[in-house]
Amino acid sequence: MSQVISFTRAFCGAILCLAAASAGATDLPQQRLAPGGLARIALGAAARAPDVSFNGVPVLVVPEGKQWTAVVGIALSAAPGSAHVTVQRGDGAPSVVPFTIKPFRYKEQRLNVAPGQVDLSKDDLARYERERTHLADVTATFSESLPATLLLRQPTPGPRSSSFGLRRIFNGQSRNPHSGMDIAAALGTPVVAPAAGHVIDTGNYFFNGNTVWLDHGSGLLTMYCHLSAINVKVGDEVATGAVLGAVGATGRATGPHLHWSVSLNRALVDPALFLAAP
């Protein structure tokens, strides 16, 4: 797979370099060198973008004038400490660029609920496992185009009702931290694309309910969950502001809201880092 990606990127290199020359500097998301955050790694000047990978996964590389910068998603499960990206420039030997992942404390919420609201039934667990395999394939999407922007608009109006990274502890049992941003909004409120993209998946899933995935290019993906309606289909090209669906409470949701996730090089990262300053 890595050889195919390298070949394709080399084939498209001239086109990307022309785009970079006309695009100029890129507005970058906020850096947070922590689990669930991202690293911005300067790569220096070059005629074309180097190939960069993190833990064997291709990384987004964007132009900043005549320089190149790698924008690396750091998984919530990443351990604090030393890390590095691997950089391949042309036919030379690969090099490594180190960076440090720092500890970051997200909020916790302790809840006592009926046991049936925590543990899945046998059938529900089997469905979840099937869906998890499919969604892993979706998150592995890596297209060659560069994102039109790395600063995203909020996909629906409303206050943040649950932040990224929140860890809920039910009846003393810790669950996986929250992997997206929840936005409180009324049932039926339009959900729009925060940037131009390509629809790569839609469906109804056990936890996420009615869901849409967008590919914005080079491993930057966004996901929209619990929708009451889906207005797009796989293969659609959507512009910034295009209506993807409507806020709902499908799947495992206690009320209408939008769960919005951002995935970068297969790591779910904090969407707040991509929001333009108000």
Q: What is the pLDDT of residues 165-217, one digit of tens each?
A: 887 766 556 667 888 999 999 999 999 999 999 999 999 999 899 999 999 99
**144-170 per-residue burial string, b: 16 or more CB within 10 A, e: under 16:** ebbbebbbbebbbebeeebebbebbeb
CATH of domain 108-274: 2.70.70.10
Residue 106 has what pLDDT? 86
Region 76-93: what's the mean pLDDT?
Answer: 94
Residue 162 has what pLDDT? 81
Q: Is the pLDDT confidence value at 2 over 60?
A: no
Choose the weakest-confidence range: 6-20, 67-81, 141-155: 6-20
Specify burial of residue 233 (Cβ count, 10 A radius: 0-12, 13-18, 19+).
exposed
Mean pLDDT of the chain: 87
The fraction of the chain above a pLDDT of 70, given in percent, is 84
CATH of domain 2-101: 2.60.40.1590
Q: Is the pLDDT confidence value at 258 over 70?
A: yes
Q: Is the pLDDT confidence value at 67 over 60?
A: yes
Q: What are the residue ranges spanned by the domains of the chain?
A: 2-101, 108-274
